[in-house]
Structure 1
Amino acid sequence: MTPRPHHLLLHPRPEVRSHSRSRAAALALTALLLAGCGSGVTTQDATPDPAAALTLENCGREVVVDAAPTAIVGMHPAQTELLLRLGLADRMAGQAQAAAQALPEDVAPLAADVPVLGEVAPPSREELLAVEPDFVYAPTTYEFSAEQGFASLDQLEQSGAAVYVATGGCADRRMTGEVTDLFEDLTALGEAFDVQDEAEQLIAEGRADLEAVEEATAEVAPLRVAQVYYEGGTLQAIGAGIEHDILLRAGADPVHSPEQEAFSDFFAAPLTPEALAAEAPDAIVFAAYDEEHEAATREYLTTTFPDMPAVAEDRLIAVSTADMFPGTLGNISAVEQIAAALYPEQF
């Protein structure tokens, strides 16, 4: 089985995290916990020169970019994909965690000559600093955990690298993140890399895609949808953050929501089979990191809940874990995929 990516859907509540877990498990449980504050762009001139320094407001920090970066590192395939779609392949010094998720087929060839840093785990401090990046783009702040042996924010900044974390990956944004946080990232990155036209095009396309889904689902009778994550015999409900917003934008009536006590301080909560069966959802959405994981989740759901409407009516909808990472175009793809699976007659 492919080692798990450090997807936040698996991250336990901070107060019960075990430091004795394996490195692979820690990676699998980390990314989505660390998602938060908004980002913005300010410049030192009313009519900025693209090559002039600008300041990105990011996760409560000021990130100064002195000139358009030429040695960029994407810290997860979700970020690497976005950088490639901005036309930055020839400016990339590395792609991290490349074995965690495959890049989409249409952009994968663009990354053929981009050095791979780390396989499933984020690169070590030494590995990342060795490529001398001048800009590092990450989905969360976990990729900069010094206690894990990764380069810290301070170490990267001291080496001359600007570090940008996806808006939805900032710590205080995790519970309230939205799909449209991506557009803040694209605006900031477009300014930083002097590819404003490319960024604006992706924003326009993304907004159009979301609007198309909204129009297509405007008159439907919303189906009740549970979003879960299953692995190793453990079932979790997902009830807040970007994942919840994805369901809403897909026209679903989520079974779990931020207003429920179980999600008052964390976006995921343990879920018993009995509790899920009692809800009798019309559909279940679940994230999977590879085909084997998807198959295992489907087998569990179909054998455990054979009479549940979601199973009986074949509405088990698998989405890629990469599409749930903050700062990725996959958030929009997930909205489209889920909506089309729920209401095929509308598409």
Structure 2
Amino acid sequence: MPKRRTAATALAGTLLVVSLSACGGSSGDTGGVDDAPSAAPHSGYPVTVTNCGQTETFTKAPSRVVVMNGASVAEVSTLLALGLGDRVVANEQTYGMSEVPGRAQAIKALPTGGIKLNDAYDIPREAMIGLRPDFVLSLTSYGFEAKNGFATREQLKTAGANSYISPQGCDDEPSKMTLADSYTLLRDMGKVFNVSDRAEKLIAASQKNIAAVSSKVQGAKKPKVMVLFSNMAMGSNAFSAVVANGIVNDILATAGGTNAFASASRTTFADLSKEKVAATDVDALVVISYNDPDPAAYAKQLLKEFPQWPAAKTNTYTVLSDSMYLGPSNDLAVAKIAKMLHPDRF
């Protein structure tokens, strides 16, 4: 997912009134459980989670949770999917749209703590301590670096707060992230908040849905897909928001496709020239919206700009948002992309 390091830089309350018992639906559909009864505050504790080489011990379920920005929605969406929205005292993750009905609105309705973000687009150290959190979530280790003006994990522990860095975020470069990491995040939060049963139901639903889609596209030719963020710049070249590695590649592979620019960079994003993009065969386009009100217009603009692409000749594109990130609804992205790439299989 994008890491917001420059002005646009960045890679999921009640979402739906649906019971977790409805495991036959998508993981997104079964994610609307904010109204589920809270776990007993002391049952099953203490619990210990080893995270990025640090041991975090919880004597009770956190009740004052702060979610750092990180230009992600993975952490807040996971908390909401597990019915833990009432534990959040400050959430800095926002999103303009979602594949899950009601999710964007639920995120917007969460308290922000009245925090003014610093120049690194996240919660400064003094403001963080002032929130009196007992649990702080960050997408990567970046959110706990003192040089960026943030409270370190050690400072938070001294203030009485546990902390957590999401899977593959220890080195602040989630280029190796896979679908399994979304399940790890769910399981870890299930353990921390003593709601492991909810986490396992969400995981089972997602795995079932993905397996069903994957079986339909098995053996099919794998089109080359370009994945990029809508109207976003992350580097010096014209196409610096093209995704080269990370969970996106796992989603594409499961949906019966391949990343057209996977070899263009070893990191999450490829910073590409227009000439490089023009010279690459792109069979399909996936535009990820990050607070862009009209990502479809951006997709159409690209297809018009590169008429030589097979994607342009067949008008093959789709727009996605949070389901392409680490988070609880990756199965929705897999299904939508697979249907775009292999409509004859559905």
Q: TM-score, normalised by structure 1?
A: 0.77
Q: Is 2:86 aligned against 1:82?
A: no
- Which SS does the other structure have where 2:174 is aligned? coil
* Cα distance in 1 for residues equivalent to 2:325 and 2:126: 25
C-alpha contact (below 8 Å) 2:227/2:286 kept by paired residues: yes
Structure 1 unaligned regions, length at least 5: 1-5, 12-24, 32-48
Deviations 1:7-54 (A, max 9, x none): 23xx7xxxxxxxxxxxxx6263356xxxxxxxxxxxxxxxxx844222
Structure 2 CA distance for aligned equivalents of residues 198 and 153 of structure 1: 28
Instruction: Report percent identity of matched pairs.
Output: 29
Indicate conservation of the 8 Å contact 2:65/2:87, yes or no: yes
User: Residue in 2 aligned with 1:344?
Assistant: 343
2:136 partner SS: strand
What CA RMSD, in Å, does the superposition of the two structures yield over aligned residues? 2.8
1:188–1:205 CA distance, 2 compared to 1 (3 A): same
CA offset digits 1:284-337 (Å, max 9, x no partner): 2232213446256325412321232111211122222x44443x1243332222
Cα distance change on mapping 1:170 and 1:339 into 2, 3 Å: farther
Does the Cα contact within 8 Å between 1:50 and 1:68 map onto a contact in 2? no
The one-letter code of the counterpart of 1:243 is V
Aligned to 2:124: 124
Match of 2:141 in 1: 141
Give the AA of the match of 1:92.
V
Structure 1 counterpart of 2:239, from 227, 235, 240: 235
Matches of 1:185 and 1:91, distance apart in 2: 17
* Residue aligning to 2:199: 199
Alignment of structure 1 residues 268-279 onto 2, 5 Å: 268-279=269-280
TM superposition shift of 1:122: 2.4
Deviations 1:152-200 (A, max 9, x none): 2222222111111111323276232111111112111111101111111
The amino acid of 1:58's aligned partner reads: N
- Contact map agreement 1:72 1:93 (CA 8 A) in 2: yes
Give the CA deviation at 1:151. Answer: 2.4
State the match for 1:188 in structure 2.
188
- Taking the TM superposition and a 5 Å limit, the aligned residue runs for 1:279-298 are 279-292=280-293, 294-295=295-296, 297-298=298-299
Is contact 1:231-1:297 (8 Å) kept?
A: no
Q: Secondary structure at the match of 2:212?
A: helix
TM-score normalised to structure 2 length: 0.77
Code of the residue aligned with 2:183 in structure 1: it is F
Distance verdict in 2 for CA 1:102–1:315, change over 3 Å: closer
Q: 1:67 aligns with which of 55, 60, 65?
A: 60
Moved more, 139-148 or 278-287: 139-148
| 2-structure distance, mates of 1:53, 1:84 | 23
The question of 1:334 aligning with 2:333 is answered yes
Contact 1:135 1:163 in 2 (8 A): yes
**1:53 corresponds to:** 46
Q: 1:151 to 1:81 in 2, by over 3 A?
A: same
Partners of 1:176 and 1:195 lie apart in 2 by 27
Q: Whole-Å Cα distance in 2 between the matches of residues 273 and 214 of structure 1?
A: 33
Aligned match of 2:23: none
The aligned length equals 303
Does 2:284 correspond to 1:255?
Answer: no
Match of 2:33 in 1: none
Pairwise mapping of residues 94-113 of structure 1 onto structure 2 (< 5 A)? 94-98=90-94, 100-102=95-97, 104-107=100-103
* Cα deviation, residue 283, structure 1: 0.8
Q: Secondary structure at the match of 1:167?
A: coil
Three-state SS of the structure 2 residue aligned to 1:289 is coil
Corresponding residue number in structure 2 for 1:38:
none
Write the letter of the residue equivalent to 1:333.
Answer: L
Structure 1 segment 130-169 matched on structure 2, within 5 A: 130-169=130-169
Q: Which has the higher contact order (CA 8 A, sep 6+)?
A: 2
Q: What SS does the aligned partner of 1:231 have?
A: coil
The alpha-carbon distance between structure 1 residues 109 and 228, as it changes in their structure 2 partners (threshold 3 A), is closer
* Residues 282, 102 of structure 1: alpha-carbon distance in 2 compared, 3 angstrom cutoff: closer
Q: Specify the code of the residue in structure 1 equivalent to 2:337.
A: I
CA shift at 1:102, angstroms? 4.8
8 Å contact from structure 1 (residues 167, 173) kept in 2: no
For residues 107 and 172 of structure 1, do their structure 2 counterparts lie closer, same or farther at Cα, with a shift above 3 Å needed? closer
Structure whose residues are more often helix by fraction? 1
Query: In structure 1, what is the Cα distance between the partners aligned to 2:58 and 2:8?
Result: 31
Give per-residue Cα distances to partners, 1:80-115, cap 9 Å, x unaligned: 1211111112222222233x5456543456567632
Deviations 1:50-80 (A, max 9, x none): 4422221112222222222121223343321
2:6 alignment counterpart: 26
